[in-house]
Structure 1
């Protein structure tokens, strides 16, 4: 069972979706990373301008290594921009930056889904790391209790991915509004939306993967949970 698991077939649709979504992100980011915005701002400059306009003077902007590793850290109140966006003038980079500022504004406004996601994050992280280990231990030792505990832990991961969807979609909508208010041409905003919509599909793929993993767990537990 552990070497050949036919329930892997459950994951095929999610795997295909994840590969397609990641490919779409790379394709669109690459396309619009070669086109500079008429703004003339770098990603870091735009981030600072948007934060100041929102009254978030205490939120810092930092550079981190990597590509598309951009994120807002609510614990330290820092917007971290990857090397591919920090000094870039491209439409793609500025769209990503505006999205992360959208998260900072969500934090300021007390956006409920973000608050819930932040509260869920530590538990979901534990569930992601240990749910399958506990579940497989239950399978190995014929313990329905351990299998059920593993399933409950993974259910928290599923809930985390679900609550992430409105957070990300809302941040992208805020990004479009922020850029429009700054005077970005509608043609460039349309390009930004293409990049951010592609990024949103990676979160949809994560939800699909989590749900199908949960279905797989339930199926396996149904097959083996009643054995003595």
Structure 2
């Protein structure tokens, strides 16, 4: 198997001043848990922020590890992530793409210290893409019936091999060479993680969906991206009992 020698993390952020600090602190801690030989970098794409997200990111970031890239025009979330990945690859240019692992998370997500190690465990076994799961940071924010519905959705995607059928941009990893071969994230307004995984599978790349690679994300019902997890959680409240 091809050893991973570099890891880059892309974090889109749109008006996330209250959450970006915890997100970046957790990401940096997860990268610090990797072996010293692994080169790491982080790119936060500040997507049309009108609050103090940039200031809070600078306060939390350990520069020059974390790179802040402004985006001032309205583009799809797929394009936002691609812009961040392009910056990551430029900063990791000395490492072959086959040995580079790209991680994606969200600004309202906190990853565990083992997060990067968990992804590389599967990469070292030959995976080209890893679709992890997310837990909700405040389940009490949902009504009991919505929480039960969400739990059933997660359970419904499980398989007997310990995997699942879900995809979250907040917990996604892909080998850079595979990412480049399929053209990166499609330019879609939402569901970019599903679209990327479909591209990878269609081109014969190996994608795994382990249930033990997890992150913790916001249980809010009003999110930043249309069609994202927040919209799903909101819909679970609106469905008739």
Q: TM-score, normalised by structure 2?
A: 0.25
Larger Rg: 1
Q: TM-score, normalised by structure 1?
A: 0.26
Structure having the larger proportion of residues in helix = 1
